[in-house]
Amino acid sequence: MHMSDSLVSFAVGTTMAAVSTGAVGYSIRKIKKTDLDNSKIPMMGVMGAFVFAAQMINFTIPGTGSSGHIGGGILLAALLGPYPAFITLTSVLIIQALFFADGGLLALGCNIFNMGFLTCFIAYPFIYRQILKKSVTPKRIALAAILAVVIGLQLGSFSVVVETTASGVTELPFRSLLIWMQPIHLAIGIIEGVITGAVLSFVYKSRKEIIMNSLEKGTQKKISMKRVLVIFAIAAIFIGGFLSYFASSNPDGLEWAIQGITQGSEIVNSSKTHLKAQELQENTAILPHYSFDGEAQDSVLGTSVSGVIGGIVTLVVTIVSGLVIMKIKKNKGNRVVTDK
């Protein structure tokens, strides 16, 4: 559901960039030192790499000619807590936009809000956590995951419709886009929810305390995550380097909706701002659309290399982000003590 720049006006793009930047700042402020201990920061990095790889796997939606991929917001929030999860997913989306031209630079704020904010700060606390408030079992985790993912994706797809309409994209009328977007993302959400529920149930059975810690406000317990980290790291390499090649080539839910409304015509915006954003992205993208220059998209080598490189870059960037935030928190805590 990555929006391209052609769907977003300068005003909407910059407004949503400001909103998403504010959300990142709020997350950094709300994170406690205990949220980023020596086990949580590596978990952020590995899970960021895992989500990056998993987003490369588009699964077919039967009978539609469309496909979808996991967003990862609920999965990250359930394992890391909402604030580290939002920062991790933001890192994934920035890396995708800058280095792989997946999602527009002008639309980056929209994508962060639609895929990260609405899942981590709306669907997770008000759906997922509420269902698990009284008791936590594998079945309730699966149910919570499915409902939270579905609702989060419905909110995200509706937000895409609103942002596109507010941007004045007349080729995509509000009512038509809404009718095409919501049902297909309901189907995508159900599949993602089942996958997320299965992964979280596995983690619960393997290391119950990881799930329980994230449900508690202000994580305090230090727990060993080595086994889970190793499993997710191996999974990220396997998915990004090998399994990604077998992803569905069908258009994703947003692309499918646009094609259905415009009868296949491409939405183009040739304003100076959009052209500059496109030029900047072309200069920063090392493997645009997960392919080498001059190579057809979805090629074996380009896809595999993109999956591995993207996972490594996400791992490093997310871990560095976590370390910087932890250092800021420690310095702030030391200043408070000194002032006293």
Mind listing the pLDDT tens digit for each residue in 7-39? 999 999 999 999 999 999 999 998 876 666 666
What pLDDT is stored for residue 218 in this prediction? Answer: 46
Question: Which segments within the chain are labelled E, that is strand?
Answer: 59-61, 66-68
What pLDDT is stored for residue 232 in this prediction? Answer: 92
pLDDT at 47 over 80: yes
The answer to whether the CB of 251 falls within 8 A of the CB of 67 is yes
pLDDT at 82 over 80: yes
Average pLDDT over residues 150-154: 98
The answer to whether the CB of 76 falls within 8 A of the CB of 266 is no
Q: Which domains does the chain have, with CATH numbers?
A: 5-339 (1.10.1760.20)
What pLDDT is stored for residue 214 in this prediction? Answer: 82
What pLDDT is stored for residue 38 in this prediction? Answer: 63
First to last CA, the chain: 49
pLDDT at 187 over 60: yes
Q: Are strands 59-61 and 66-68 parallel, antiparallel or unpaired?
A: antiparallel
Average pLDDT over residues 246-258: 93
> Which pTM does this prediction carry?
0.94
What pLDDT is stored for residue 7 in this prediction? Answer: 97
How far is residue 340's CA from residue 338's CA, in Å, rounded to a whole number? 5
What pLDDT is stored for residue 243 in this prediction? Answer: 86
pLDDT at 220 over 60: no
Average pLDDT over residues 294-312: 79
Count CB atoms within 10 A of the CB of residue 28.
Answer: 16
pLDDT digits (tens, 9 = 90+) for 167-179: 999 999 999 999 9
Name the residue with tokens 């609702």. 151
- CB-based burial, 64-102: b 16+ in 10 Å, e otherwise: bebbbbbbbbbbbbbbbbbbbbbbbbbbbbbbbbbbbbb
Q: Which of the four pLDDT bands, split at 50, 70 and 90, describes residue 258?
A: very high
Q: Which of the four pLDDT bands, split at 50, 70 and 90, describes residue 219?
A: very low
